[in-house]
Amino acid sequence: MIGIRKADLERLKPYGDTMDDGKTQLSFSLPVPAGPEAAEAAKRLVLAHGFADPMMVRMEAMGPTMSFFVFYGAMQQTIDYKNLVVPKAEFEALDMHQIDDLIEAQFGRRLVVVGACPGTDAHTVGIDAIMNMKGYNGHYGLERYKMVKAVNMGAQIPPEALVARAIAENADAILASVVVTQKDLHITTLTELVEVMEAEGVRDRMLAIVGGPRMTYDLATELGFDAGFGPGSYAEDVAAYVAQELLRRQGKAMPVRA
Ligand code: B12
């Protein structure tokens, strides 16, 4: 068991095998042949980045003109973890049964969510992980929830079609999944989605939520969404958020659980 003191949290740095050793693994390639000069250049680059005690643990030739390195070094910078403030979706974590019970007790009806990969994005695995019955990584998807009606429109859905379906279903929330971020394509698509919601007069009527591997809460809210979910999120995260956020908007507090 690692003893963490308050002072450690104010000056947090990576942990290798002892507190505060700062040990970090770095890997990179250089566009020069592997050899003593490449190794020295790599070491100096690691030092120049402020890592102490650079140790090369691997140098591999990647063809005649490229070299690949793995280094260990001791990071000198620290972060004040104790006073870190990170904007994020605020909700109490609940499991599927607790969420179903909460919805049944507080809303007395199924909540409706309509999801899709908007625009040209063809990556369905993320939205399926959240919505499909079988879910992902041992976490059931929204289709499995007794008190959620989950409509998954799939990939490459124009924002207009997604909003039209959400209106037709009288949805409580729109769930968008964006994976491709090349040339900021996701920004264009998500901005369009919010604009369509506003043009249809439904932006205030339903939650707008976006997820994806490069999505953050900050970026999502900056683009006009209510919340953003990144890698490692599961159906219960978004379902707990949706139910609790809708309750908050009705001026109701999250009931204290026994
Ligand atoms: C599978 C895959 C494909 C498949 C997709 C098949 C399918 N039906 O989905 C195919 C082959 C079609 C494909 C195509 C392309 N791909 Co691709 N693909 C991948 C790959 C290997 C895996 C993606 C994946 O399935 N991840 C698993 C899921 C579960 O993770 P996830 O999406 O992050 O979802 C989780 C969270 O983000 C979150 N989440 C996601 N969505 C949502 C939504 C909500 C509401 C919430 C709450 C949470 C949430 O919850 C999920 C579970 O925790 C990645 C590389 C990689 N290893 O990640 C490249 C990758 C995503 N692809 C990439 C690219 C470039 C493309 C193409 C443009 C390639 C090309 N030149 O044609 C095309 C794009 C086609 C298009 N129009 O979109 C790039 C994207 C780079 C970028 N940043 O823009 C990647 C990163 C590969 C790379 N390193 O270059 N791809």
Q: Which residue has the tokens 């890698």?
A: 231
Predicted pLDDT at 9 = 87
Q: Do 76 and 68 touch, CB atoms closer than 8 A? A: no
Predicted pLDDT at 1 = 43
Cα-based torsion angle of the residue sequence 118, 183, 219, 254 in order, rounded to the nearest 10 degrees: 20
Residue nearest to atom 81 of ligand 1 (CA): 180
The answer to whether the 7-75 and 96-249 domains have the same CATH topology is no
Atom of ligand 1 nearest to the CA of 214: 37
Cα separation, 220 vs 115, in Å, equals 16
Convert the pLDDT of each residue in 135-188 to its tens digit: 999 999 999 999 999 999 999 999 999 999 999 999 999 999 999 999 999 999
Cα separation, 147 vs 175, in Å, equals 17
Interval between CA 104 and ligand 1 midpoint (Å): 34
Q: Which residue has the tokens 């990144």?
A: 230
Q: Which CATH architecture group holds 96-249?
A: 3-Layer(aba) Sandwich (3.40)
Convert the pLDDT of each residue in 117-141 to its tens digit: 999 999 999 999 999 999 999 999 9
> Residues with Cβ within 6 A of ligand 1?
120-127, 129-130, 136, 175, 177, 179-182, 209, 211-213, 229-233, 238
Residue nearest to atom 72 of ligand 1 (CA): 122
DSSP 49: T
Active site residue 43: no
Q: Taking the domains of the chain in order of start, what are their residue ranges? A: 7-75, 96-249
Tokens at 256, concatenated: 């204290």
Which H/E stretch holds residue 54?
strand 51-61
| Per annotation, catalytic residue among 134, 146, 149, 252 | 134
Predicted pLDDT at 62 = 96
> Helix axis angle, 185-199 relative to 159-168, nearest 10°?
40
Interval between CA 123 and ligand 1 midpoint (Å): 5
Q: Do 104 and 147 touch, CB atoms closer than 8 A? A: yes
Atom of ligand 1 nearest to the CA of 209: 45
Low-confidence ranges of the chain (pLDDT < 70): 1-7, 257-258
Q: State pTM to two decimals.
A: 0.87
- Give which of 201, 184, 197 is closest to 209, Cα–Cα: 197
Residue nearest to atom 1 of ligand 1 (CA): 123
7-75 is a CATH 3.30.30.60 domain: yes
The pick from 99, 121, 123, 180 for probing ligand 1's pocket by mutation, whose C-beta has the most ligand atoms within 8 angstroms, reads 123
> Helix axis angle, 235-249 relative to 96-107, nearest 10°?
20
Which H/E stretch holds residue 161?
helix 159-168
Residue type, 132: N
The pick from 137, 179, 190, 226 for probing ligand 1's pocket by mutation, whose C-beta has the most ligand atoms within 8 angstroms, reads 179
Tokens at 23, concatenated: 């040990």
Atom of ligand 1 nearest to the CA of 180: 84
Q: What's phi and psi for 115, nearest 5 deg?
A: -125, 160
Interval between CA 219 and ligand 1 midpoint (Å): 18
Residue nearest to atom 30 of ligand 1 (CA): 126
